[in-house]
Amino acid sequence: MASRITCQVDDGAHVTVVRLAGTLDMTSMRQAYAHLEACLARQPDALVVDLSGLAVREHLAVSVFAAAARRAAGWPVVPLVLCAPRPDAAVCLAETTACRVVPVRDNCDEASRVADATAVTRLRLRLDPVAAACRRARELVADACARWNLPEAVGPASVVLSELVGNVVRHAGTPMQVTVTLRRPWLHLAVVDGSSAAVLPGESGQRDEGGRGLLLVRELADRWGSAPAGDGKAVWATLPAN
């Protein structure tokens, strides 16, 4: 019989708890990752993964949690904490090198406290694909940097987020959600649109009418990338928060 992973999600004010149940192996780990990816796409402030209902059949399958944590670190910048693993799962997590960077707590209450303490600060804005969207995005950056006392980040972050929004206006043409997130020492910028069309590396050399393109994102950001987000995608960039 094929292994199957079920998922129950409990959205709290700051911390979302996802309870995975079933048997984890090298086949069902894809299903587990898909559940976690769907939770991350909702951009919670922090995510606790309850493993009390999960049995581990294959040792290496627990690496799915390290993969989810790496995804969460790039976008949508969500602290991820595991809790209440069964003894077999706890041993696998402790022995798997990749998973040692993922916090593990004995119970859900303790994990929720850890997650809440590391929950990120965000500002969000819904925008339509119109010319004024770029200006609204720059205003969001200015507001965020003023609130968080990041005067030196305003200029480069405004350029980067304006370009990400402009790319949606020019190419995707869908409504979008713009997010500015502070998780020191980084300022994270992300735009989620309704188009699943990938941002190709070759597009970085394209120029818009103002002479600026995604090339500027590559030049100004420490890192940038894209990831699936529901029926669309997220394009994100990370800059120093100083």
Tens digit of each residue's pLDDT (9 = 90 or more) over 99-120: 888 999 999 999 999 999 988 8
Over range 78-95, report the average pLDDT. Answer: 94
Per mean pLDDT, which range of 36-45, 78-87, 120-129, 194-203 is the poorest? Answer: 194-203
The pLDDT value recorded for residue 211 is 35
Do residues 106 and 130 both lie within one domain? Answer: no
Q: Are 175 and 216 in contact (CB under 8 A)?
A: no
Give the pLDDT band of residue 212 (cuts 50, 70, 90): low
DSSP letter string over 193-209?
ES------GGGGG---T
Residue 230, pLDDT > 90, answer no
Over range 45-65, report the average pLDDT. Answer: 95
Domain stops at, among 98, 117, 136 = 117
Domain holding 169, by residue range, is 121-240
Give the pLDDT band of residue 206 (cuts 50, 70, 90): very low
Do residues 39 and 80 both lie within one domain? Answer: yes
- The per-residue pLDDT of the chain, averaged, comes to 90
CATH number of residue 47's parent domain: 3.30.750.24
Long-range contacts of 92-101 (CB under 8 A, 24+ apart): 92/56, 92/59, 92/61, 92/62, 93/62, 93/65, 95/59, 96/59, 96/60, 96/62, 96/63, 96/66, 98/63, 98/66, 99/62, 99/63, 99/65, 99/66, 101/66, 101/69
Domain stops at, among 66, 83, 117 = 117
**Most confident of the ranges 19-23, 37-41, 223-227:** 19-23
Q: What is the dihedral of CA 125, 118, 63, 76, to 10 degrees?
A: 10
Do residues 212 and 160 both lie within one domain? Answer: yes
Domain stops at, among 117, 132, 158 = 117
Give the pLDDT band of residue 77 (cuts 50, 70, 90): very high
Residue 202, pLDDT > 60, answer no
Distance CA 114, CA 79 (A): 9
The pLDDT value recorded for residue 227 is 87
Q: Are 196 and 43 in contact (CB under 8 A)?
A: no
b vs e for 63-77, b when ≥16 Cβ sit within 10 Å of the residue's Cβ?
A: bbbbbbbebbbbbbb
pTM as predicted = 0.83
Do residues 136 and 228 both lie within one domain? Answer: yes
Residue 24, pLDDT > 50, answer yes
Report residue 29 CA to chain centroid gap. 19
Exposure of 60 in the CB half-sphere (CA atoms within 13 A):
3
Domain count, the chain: 2
Instruction: Determine how β-strand 46-56 pairs with β-strand 80-83.
Output: parallel
Do residues 58 and 168 both lie within one domain? Answer: no
Percent of the chain predicted with pLDDT > 90: 72
Length of the chain: 242
For the record, the structure tokens of 149 come out as 């006392």
* Nearby residues of 113 by Cβ (< 8 Å), 6 or more positions away: none
Over range 12-33, report the average pLDDT. Answer: 93
Do residues 173 and 159 both lie within one domain? Answer: yes
User: At how many degrees (to 10) do helices 154-167 and 132-147 cross?
Assistant: 150
The pLDDT value recorded for residue 201 is 46
Residue 200, pLDDT > 90, answer no
* Nearby residues of 223 by Cβ (< 8 Å), 6 or more positions away: 74, 237, 238
Residue 1, pLDDT > 70, answer no
pLDDT digit string, tens, across residues 162-179:
999 999 998 889 999 999
For residue 22, give the nearest of 48, 1, 47, 44 by alpha carbon.
Answer: 1
pLDDT digit string, tens, across residues 127-155:
999 999 999 999 999 999 999 999 999 99
Do residues 96 and 195 both lie within one domain? Answer: no
